[in-house]
Chain A
Amino acid sequence: MPKQPRIDRVNSASTSAGLSRRGFMAATAALAAGAALPIASRRSFAADRIKLKVMSWEQFQPGEKDGWNALFDKFNQSQSKYQVEWTGWPVAQYEANVVIQAQAGGIDADVLMALPDLAAQMIRKYKNVEPLDSLVSELGITPSGGHAYLRQDGKLYGLSAIDVNFALVYNKKLFADAGLKPATTADEWVDTTAKLTKRPDQFGIALINTIADGGEWWFQLQNFCLPYDGMWAQGKTPLANSPETVKGLELWKKLYDAGAPQGTAEGGVMKLTADGRVAQAFGVNPTIVVLKATNPAIYPNLLSAAPPWESKRSLDRIHPLMALKTSKNVDGAMEFIKFAMQPDVMADLMEANSYVIPPYDLASKSEKFKAYLADKPWISGYNEAKQVSPIDVMGDFAFVDDQFGRIIMQNLQSALQPGGKSVKEAMDGAQRQLEALAKRL
């Protein structure tokens, strides 16, 4: 008698006398094996892949992490060799932790997303990143002008993942009510700010001005060497008391006196702006996204204008993706960056995260992105602004950007006190401190 198939035996046992203990065990084992096999094979498939670590702060950013997670998923599904995953810290601790790892001899990642001054340190000080020119050629793209600071000896070491630049954001309703147009010169700017100020109900301009918000204040104030074509430093020589920089800071002080909410914390300033009680702000493009999130009703009233000075130059902060030399998977790191830069992938990321400044001329390569931009009337001022990287105006102090900013802000505060120093005297003090700092660079 031929042996019955095992499954029939199990069936006959179950039909004749119910499920025996042995039969139950066998069936359970078979079911468990059947269920476990695909998981095991998936696990072994995942385990077979090479893990790529992307070090960033974006996984902690509300409103941005979803877009990046979607990009990661797409990459992981697109090929079978690599599996990309996050590593890193929230932005407040990010730079310090990356620098500590770099100082200790190596960054524990394959791809690094960097803030501008951190990127400059990686390229010029630690020299631990790979050139990406081959990727640029393969993709056939021309990186935006803001990438200049990521070049060294003719090679490009990073490609923009996030790019934010400064322009004048204004509330068109408040301007229309006052019969005013956005300023195009520094003098006009002070004038319109004064006319739009009715303290304490309305303020002409949102300027961060407390040292408790030092990071945000310096982020904005750093632009004020540009109205009169100055720089903060050249090489190891600080230029805090140069005539151009002093005039720029005098302009800041005039705006502060004319119409800023003095002594109000950054959160308060943003709330006032979102509530339609501040007429203009000198801010980066995500400012509009934040204002929209705080008060959706304000969004239709927001427009941008070019920086109100002749050169229209303002700081452009590219946060690049970089492939780390110390990675065991440099090819994988390159593969990931190349994937992220593909027009469709980048267009999806920009739309998901409300980014508006692409790493290259994305509108000419992606209809989707073109349509997305057409829906953003407020970007014209940002597009008119001429890109300057913070590194271009900071000289060798780019590596101690925070300390430099602190010295400038502390001294400038002494010019904001009633009966205090002049801006020139305050900057003479800053210059002395910066010269001492230069000796320690």
Chain B
Amino acid sequence: MQQAAIMVAGVRRPARRSLVDGKAFPYLLILPALALEALLILYPIVRGSLVSLDPGDGTYGFDNYSLMFADPDFWRMLMHTLTYTVSVDVIILIVALAVALLMNWDFPGRGAVRSILTVPWAIPDVPVAITFVMMFDPTFGVFNRLARMLPWIDHNQSWLLDPNLAMAAVILVTVWKGFPFYSLVLLAALQNVPDELYDAARVDGAGVFGQFLHVTLPGIRDTIALLAVLAFIFSTQQFTLIWLITGGGPVDATTTLAPAIYMQAFRFFNFGYAGAFAVIGFLISAVATLAFVVVQQRLAREP
């Protein structure tokens, strides 16, 4: 009996070892995550792509794409998307980096200031949008009160009625709402830059700007690259703030991809056409992610 047990154990042990220690084990571990990804991400992408090929009569073809590429509204919307996305991306990173650098300094009350700075990020989009709409009101809004203090402004601005100002307004709100997240991530990265590097730089005669350029920036460039991609993807997908603040207007000056998809699908019931827009949005995000991977690999190869 004992012998039999030893034999069984002896037979089973290598099999268990091959499962646990073998090459298949990592794949088994990620299988649940992959299955969820396939179900919740991949399947909707495939279904969405198929919907984009249906012009509404149950057949498949490229009619929606032909219509989309011939539609001047689509190209204008794409330009608005790029304007909004690139502006948010650049401004939010500059603001976030500036704030992170300030927060990295040692000063009394730093903890409290850090906590306060996260407030915009913690407030839900809807109250933020409603509050800013009131602040932008041409007659009663606080922005005009502030603007009128400037000597060269002698009349109230119609912030959300002027196409250029409206785009600037939604960019401003998006940056205000989002910068704390980027600041916190950059702050964490800044704290990982070794102090010895700054000491060495100072010994080599580097000033504050020199230290920033040759120590700080190279030390956090991977984080900046990741945040740039995240900011790009998040702002490509931004819907709530734009929709609630401007509704995509005036005219269509702030209609980016996400509001355009929503309008086509759920206001105009052109699901196929909305699907074609969504595929373009997916491709834009995919290209951004790919670019990030390439940049990250290049940076990793650099000494």
Q: A residues bordering B, Cβ < 8 Å?
A: 96, 99-100, 103, 199-200, 210-214, 261-265, 267-268, 400, 402-403, 406, 409-411, 413-414, 416-417, 440
Q: Give Cα A411 to B138, complex, Å.
A: 21
B159 at the interface (CB under 8 A from A): yes
Complex Cα distance, B270 from A141, in Å, reads 40
A210–B161 CB distance below 8 A:
yes
Give the residues in chain B near A416, CB-CB below 8 Å: 161, 250
Q: Pick the residue among B139, B160, B251, B270 that contacts A414 (CB under 8 A).
A: B251
- One of A199, A265, A403 near B137 (C-beta < 8 A): A265
Chain B min CB distance to A439 (Å): 10
Establish whether residues B138 and A262, one from each chain, have CB atoms under 8 Å apart when the complex forms. Answer: yes
> Which of A99, A212, A440 is packed against the most chain B CB atoms within 10 Å?
A212
Given known pairs A96-B269, A413-B251, the reply for A262 and B161 (CB within 8 Å) is yes
Q: Which partner residue on chain B sits nearest A262 by CB separation?
A: B138
Residues of A within 8 Å of B140, CB to CB, are: 200, 264, 268
- Judge whether B138 and A263 touch: CB under 8 Å: yes
Chain A residues positioned under 8 Å from B268 (CB to CB) = 400, 402-403
Q: B164 to chain A: closest CB distance in Å?
A: 10
Contacting residues, chain A, for B250 (C-beta < 8 A): 211, 410, 413, 416-417
Nearest B residue to A268 by beta-carbon distance? B137
CB contact list, B138-172 vs A, under 8 A: 138-140, 158-163
Give the distance in Å from the alpha carbon of A200 to the alpha carbon of B159 in the complex.
Answer: 17
Is B252 an interface residue when CB atoms closer than 8 A count as contact? yes
Residues of chain B from 246 to 269 with CB closer than 8 A to chain A in the complex:
246-252, 263, 266-269
Can you report 30 residue pairs joining A to B where beta carbons are below 8 Å apart?
A96-B266, A100-B269, A200-B139, A210-B161, A211-B249, A211-B250, A212-B160, A212-B247, A213-B247, A214-B247, A263-B136, A263-B139, A263-B158, A264-B137, A264-B138, A264-B139, A264-B140, A265-B133, A265-B134, A402-B268, A403-B268, A406-B263, A406-B267, A409-B249, A410-B250, A410-B251, A410-B252, A413-B251, A416-B161, A417-B161
**B281 → A minimal CB distance (Å):** 20
Instruction: Tell me the bound Cα distance from A220 to B159 in angstroms.
Output: 23
In whole angstroms, how far apart are the Cα atoms of A403 and B265 in the complex? Answer: 11
Closest to B247 in A: A212
Determine if B65 is an interface residue (Cβ-Cβ < 8 Å): no
**A216: shortest Cβ distance to chain B, in Å?**
11
A212 to B270, CA, bound (A): 21
Residues of B within 8 A of A414 (CB): 251
Q: A200-B139, A268-B137, A403-B268 are in contact. Are A263 and B248 (CB under 8 A)?
A: no
**B56: nearest chain-A partner, CB-CB:** A440
Chain B residues in the interface with A (C-beta under 8 A): 130, 133-134, 136-140, 158-163, 243-252, 263, 266-270
Q: Which residues of B contact A100 (CB under 8 A)?
A: 269
- Residues of chain B within 8 A of A440, CB atoms compared: 270
Chain A minimum-CB-distance residue to B67: A440
Candidate in B249, B251, B268 with the most chain A CB atoms within 10 angstroms: B251
A210/B251 contact (C-beta < 8 A), A96-B269, A261-B139, A400-B268 known: no
Please provide the 4 A-B residue pairs with the shortest distance between their CB atoms, ordered closest to farther.
A211-B249, A212-B247, A263-B138, A211-B247
Closest chain-A Cβ to B255's Cβ sits at a distance in Å of 9
Contact A262 B139 (CB under 8 A): yes
Complex CA gap A353/B162 in Å reads 40
Which residues on the A side are within 8 Å of B133 (C-beta)? 212, 265
Write the chain B residue with the least CB distance to A426. Answer: B251
Contact pick for A263, options B160, B163, B266, B267, CB 8 Å: B160
B244 pairs with A263, CB closer than 8 A: no
For B160, list chain A residues within 8 Å (CB): 210, 212, 263
- Beyond the given pairs A210-B246, A263-B137, A265-B137, 6 more chain A to chain B contacts, judged by CB atoms under 8 angstroms and listed by A's residue number, are A212-B249, A261-B139, A264-B140, A268-B140, A402-B267, A411-B251
Q: How far is the CB of B251 from chain A (nearest CB, A)?
A: 5
Q: Which residue of A lies closest to B250 (CB)?
A: A413
B249: nearest residue on chain A (CB-CB)? A211
Q: Chain B residues with Cβ under 8 A from A212's Cβ?
A: 133, 160, 243-247, 249
A440 to B66, CA, bound (A): 14
Q: How far is the CA of A417 from the CA of B246 in the complex (A)?
A: 15
Question: Which residue of B has the minimal Cβ distance to A402?
Answer: B267
Q: Within the assembled complex, what's the spacing in Å between the Cα atoms of A417 and B136? A: 17
Query: Complex: how many Å from CA A300 to CA B269?
Result: 43
* Residues in chain A near residue B130, CB distance under 8 A: 267
Nearest Cβ on chain B to A346's Cβ, whole angstroms: 33
Chain B residue contacts of A410, Cβ below 8 A = 249-252
A261 vs B159: C-alpha distance in the bound complex, in angstroms? 14
Question: What is the chain B residue whose CB lies nearest that of A96?
Answer: B266
In the complex, what residue of chain A is closest to B269 when comparing beta carbons? A99
- B248 engages A211 (CB within 8 Å): yes
Whether A413 pairs with B267 at a CB distance below 8 angstroms is no
**Contact present for A413 and B139 (CB under 8 Å):** no
**A264→B140 CA distance, assembly (Å):** 9
CA distance A403 to B158 in the complex (A): 25
Q: Which of B134, B139, B269 contacts A199 (CB 8 A)?
A: B139
Q: For B243, list chain A residues within 8 Å (CB).
A: 212
CA distance A261 to B137 in the complex (A): 9
Q: In the bound complex, what is the Cα–Cα distance between A170 and B250 (angstroms)?
A: 29
Give bound CA distance, A96 to B250, whole Å: 24
Taking a contact as CB atoms under 8 Å apart, the answer to whether A263 and B246 are in contact is no
B277 to chain A, nearest CB (A): 15
Contacts of A413 in B (CB 8 A): 161, 249-251
* A262 contact set on B, CB distance < 8 A: 138-139, 158, 161
CB distance from B268 to the nearest CB of A (A): 4
Q: Tell me the minimal C-beta distance from B125 to chain A in angstroms.
A: 14
Given the known interface contacts A265-B134, A413-B161, A417-B161, the answer about A210 and B139 at a Cβ–Cβ threshold of 8 Å is no
In the bound assembly, the distance between CA atoms of A211 and B170 in angstroms comes to 14
**B295, chain A: closest CB distance, angstroms:** 37
Complex contacts, A210 vs chain B, CB 8 Å: 160-161, 246-247, 249
Interface centre among A261, A264, A403, A416 (most CB of B within 10 A): A264
A268 CB contacts on chain B under 8 angstroms: 134, 137, 140
| A267 CB contacts on chain B under 8 angstroms | 130
Which residues of B sit under 8 angstroms from A264, Cβ to Cβ?
137-140
| Residues of chain B within 8 A of A211, CB atoms compared | 246-250
